[in-house]
Chains A and B, each alone.
Chain A
Amino acid sequence: MADTTDRADTARPAGAVRRALTTTALLCALAVPGCSAPATTDTPSAPASAGASGAATGPKTGTDTGDTGTGNTGTGLAGGLSGTDIGWLQLTIAMDDQARDILERAPDRAGDPALADWAARLAAHHRTELTALRALSAEAGLPDGNPHEGHEMPGMASAAALRELETARGPAFDRLLRTTLHAHLRQTVKLADALLAADADPRTRELARDARESAADAERTMPPA
């Protein structure tokens, strides 16, 4: 059976020029808002539309800012948000929603009262955070749901873990809660850091800063086993 061998490809001489242009575009995009990049950007055959729903508050990213070094798909996406913003927003909503659901069971199921208290407080915080996340999502006219609904995602409880959580009580519940929430909180910090390192919308950046701070805090204050 054929092996997955490399197919050696000779580097194209134009690559160096292209990289130079891309670097210029990157510097341009980061240093000077509204600075236009050289013509290596995504260009669809016709001008891109204003976005999936047309709802538009706040500045638009423009039709083709896609390849100006922002990681932005820049194809006329929703209401001023880039692909990075949207990806982060939809994923964080999904993660927070699942975590909230798990946390809300703790008062009835947890064995450790301190853990139950911690969980109740964190559940309340998640409800507040979700309201803010969904508000931005609605403002930007994003569709409900996310492209990975029904898929297993890092930082989210697996289908097997969710089944266990349905019936677990006392120390067994506590163990599951700690494991799933550790993963959730760690991934929340990681994703927020990634968003803050990208060229993101100020509204998303603010939400990411809050999410990161509270997730790090929750990790720190989780009552030990």
Chain B
Amino acid sequence: MSVRFPRPPTRRPRARRAWTTALAALGLLFATLYAGTAPAGTGRDGTRIDAVPQGAEVVRVAEFLAECPYSHRLPDDPIVFPGLPGASHMHSFFGSRVTNAHTRVTDLLGSQTTCAPAVDTSSYWVPTLYRDDQPVEPTGTTFYYLGEGVHDDVIQRIRPFPQGLRVVAGNAKATGVNDPSSVARWSCLHHGEVAPSKDFVTCPAGSMLESYLDFPQCWNGKDLDSADHQSHMSYPVAGTCPASHPVPVPKLRQVLRYPVSGGTQGLRLASGPGYTMHGDFFNAWPEAELARRVTNCINVIVKCGADGTPS
């Protein structure tokens, strides 16, 4: 091999340099194969490998996931309107098949679910998407649990969500495309040249309209919910969890892919324009299953699949 790679400082004995060089070459090869228009971001298509040309190590990813297809639609919201059926705009539910206005965590535990793994009986929901007043449900429905957005030492301290935790993501006061409180982003599958936006985007034929939504990942350590359904959780600040919300929990990243492309006319959410996108998570993972994944995948920064083992 005649190509030379700059070597980082290493304490490895001299005899290992040849292996280091070979690994670095492999890393560069992978980086070339997988580079492209796909924006950076963990777990976008589930098969990406990050590589640093300089070093021998692949960038480590702390992740596990659940694939939870669409289950049912109801104008209910057991977090915001518990006990008040019909109070909400239409929601599309994923995961537990039993969720309605009266649902409590004990109803979710052990319930029928669409999720793989089937132990995830949590409930996830979003405002229903409509095209010309017809509901359109996503066919890609992946819920990533990530150890990112915080420093490595914080990742090691990430704890499982308490059972029954309610988390809401997305702006409560959606006022427009430049609203900084919006954490929703729309994009086009495999078409990173279409700039992501807080509102709907026009995707090329054959692509899919994607919604990314990141949930807050710092918990106040006490409350399963709060009066505004947001105050008990916080997003990290400067790579760590603020003193007000000191307990780091996995970052839930909801990725939905809709069989929608072309112009955005006729598209709306039950809550209004695309920038009103929001999501709800009602945690009903069995405690042992969640703890195992947090320990074996998140804290040690390993990428796992739906079964919670390294993939």
* A binding-site residues for B, Cβ under 8 Å: 1-9, 11-12, 14-15, 18, 21-22, 40, 42-49, 51-53, 66-67, 69-73, 75-78, 82-84, 86-88, 91, 141-143, 145-154, 159, 187, 190-191, 194-195, 197-200
User: Which of B45-53, B108-116, B209-217 forms part of the interface with chain A?
Assistant: B108-116
B230 to chain A minimum Cβ distance, whole angstroms, is 7
- If A73-B79, A73-B82, A87-B81 touch, does A145 touch B172 (CB 8 Å cutoff)? yes
User: Bound complex: CA of A35 vs CA of B271, how far in Å?
Assistant: 39
Give 9 nearest A-B pairs by CB, closest first.
Answer: A71-B83, A198-B83, A84-B83, A151-B271, A87-B81, A150-B174, A52-B227, A42-B164, A12-B110
A-B contact pairs, 10 of them (CB 8 A): A2-B69, A2-B139, A4-B70, A42-B163, A88-B84, A152-B89, A153-B88, A154-B75, A159-B272, A198-B84
Chain A contact residues: over half helix, strand or loop, or mixed?
A: loop
Chain B residues with a Cβ closer than 8 Å to the other chain, count? 67
Compute how far the CA of A192 lies from the CA of B250 in the bound complex, rounded to whole angstroms: 38
A52 and B105 within 8 A (CB): no
* A14, closest chain B residue (CB): B110
Q: A156 to chain B: closest CB distance in Å? A: 9
Identify the B interface with A (CB < 8 A).
69-71, 75, 77-89, 97, 101-102, 104-107, 109-116, 118, 127, 137, 139-140, 162-166, 168, 171-175, 220-232, 259, 270-272, 276, 278
- The prevalent SS among residues of B at the interface is loop
Knowing A42-B164, A152-B271 are in contact, say whether A73-B224 is a contact too (CB < 8 A).
yes
* Residues on the B chain within 8 Å of A8, using CB: 112
A-B contact count (CB 8 A): 196
Give Cα distance in the complex from A71 to B103, angstroms: 7
- Which of B77, B104, B109, B225 has the most C-beta atoms of chain A within 10 angstroms of its own C-beta? B104
Question: Are B80 and A75 neighbours in the complex by a CB distance under 8 Å?
Answer: no
Are A5 and B227 touching (Cβ within 8 A)? no
Q: Are B118 and A7 in contact (CB under 8 A)?
A: yes
- In the assembled complex, which residues on chain A have CB atoms less than 8 Å from the CB atom of B271? 148, 151-152
